[in-house]
Structure 1
């Protein structure tokens, strides 16, 4: 994998100037109507979660709810902070560049309508049919939020809708595409009425045995269970919506495969990898392998930390090991949401990184301690 990273390095460098998830000009490709059935069940037919369609109107400043000046004083256009990716905590980087240390794993969509008191009134809708997997109305940085499980390419993929003013569904509800989940709001930590928005994520579930890992590493009450934030790995939502306008026949595996690879991690083999059991299309050969005979599992990640591919590595490892990084990682001072750090001319996981990668290696019996 390292050789492939080097091959694409110059292309990645050229893309460094672009802000993550920056929308290209709107296309004339129609979006499928709500509830429309694609010809192939693997092909996606999605809708935006609110009435705000500015993403498709080349008006990102109206679509994204950005950050305020005191938090984001280095950014000229504040809406950029509402995008997916490295758009938070700006710091200087190599060659006069500016980079960002913190990942925003979803997008913040601004309200399209407010009442006479300034309260947002937008309904938040399911982007696709599915089953309500989780509803939180208790303490959380996300405030009130709903998680919907979708069956995409025979795998469970999750959409999360956060900071809702209220919720209109309960766990176990089957919802149609466009079903009302709640009202856009500003519940949760540090959000004012002026910055009301719905935070949308589209994510993998990393491990069904999250509880074993949580007990080993966190130790407190696991209030959100499987839907604890660390157990969800998000992909760029706006990128997916825009890609579907360009190619209405796109599947979710195809979209994931199109993302930019940034680093490669090898994990100990000899045991099942829960991720590949749930998403076999990440690596059909790895999915077909006998876990007991696997020397090591190799996972390729985006810079933001979403898994892209899984392979069987030939060389055994005793703990999470960095097999390769892209040039972009070098140029952004190892911006990987604090999971990697540079050691001379190589990279290794940080303490946070070992904890993160241990979640991938957790089984029903144990969570590794590295």
Structure 2
């Protein structure tokens, strides 16, 4: 989807149309969750501190996120996907991989399927989507960015290697800004530069991801579209309008966060064995503390008490806190684990 959160806000509130909009944050603090294309022209991006977004674009309009609306729209979009194939792998609320090799409508052209899906999304939801078509996930993802917004592109098998050789290294999916900067210092500016590196040198320089870089620059990606992705964690967090330095206030907020998290645990019918408490400082530096237990967490009081203990172990008195969060991982469904106790030896 094109600027998904921001596009929904512009769709639902006519006074925002054609104007630079940032979803999330405020002029003073917070983080941009999504930016409209009008805001992007000024260099505003998602995950950018709101204060920086305001400096780049003083006329920007900040609006509160409505995640319940975005989730509802996402469900409607997925229903359109399922009209064509059951092999849908969501990446987020606004993005998914579709394997249409065998599709429900018997359409022989993947390009035609993408066009139909985009037209249906526009007709039913008044939103624009872009699409990438190719023979594997990496190339389809790469193609989806070529003609944004409201466009689509195809990378044919016989075109892939030549296309990738000319692609700037920062536009390779999976290569972030930090890695791209490191590569440029090593003389890797385009795919053709990366292609000259033997796999051994890539592994020595970039570790386990070296093999990934070696393959993608040659258009090789054998990952299948996974129709069901298992949830890895459940969490809740809060960003504060003013930094908190008082430990007692941190504890009070952590109790409220634990209440929200427990409601989400009950709704998901899952629990976990690992609790993680995180603190984000005023300068965005993150600190976490985790503990794993022998069995699934089964009551809110245990979750709360252990979260407070982990907070204490982080030495919160040393921080000015802008965000607090709790999450559980190592998920499982209650009643599915072995609940027998170890035999006591006394």
Say which structure, 1 or 2, has more relative contact order (CA 8 Å, 6+ apart): 1
**Bigger Rg, structure 1 or 2:** 2
Higher strand share: 1
- Shorter-chain TM-score above 0.5: no
Please report the TM-score for the alignment, with normalisation by the length of structure 1: 0.24
Please report the TM-score for the alignment, with normalisation by the length of structure 2: 0.25
Higher helix share: 2
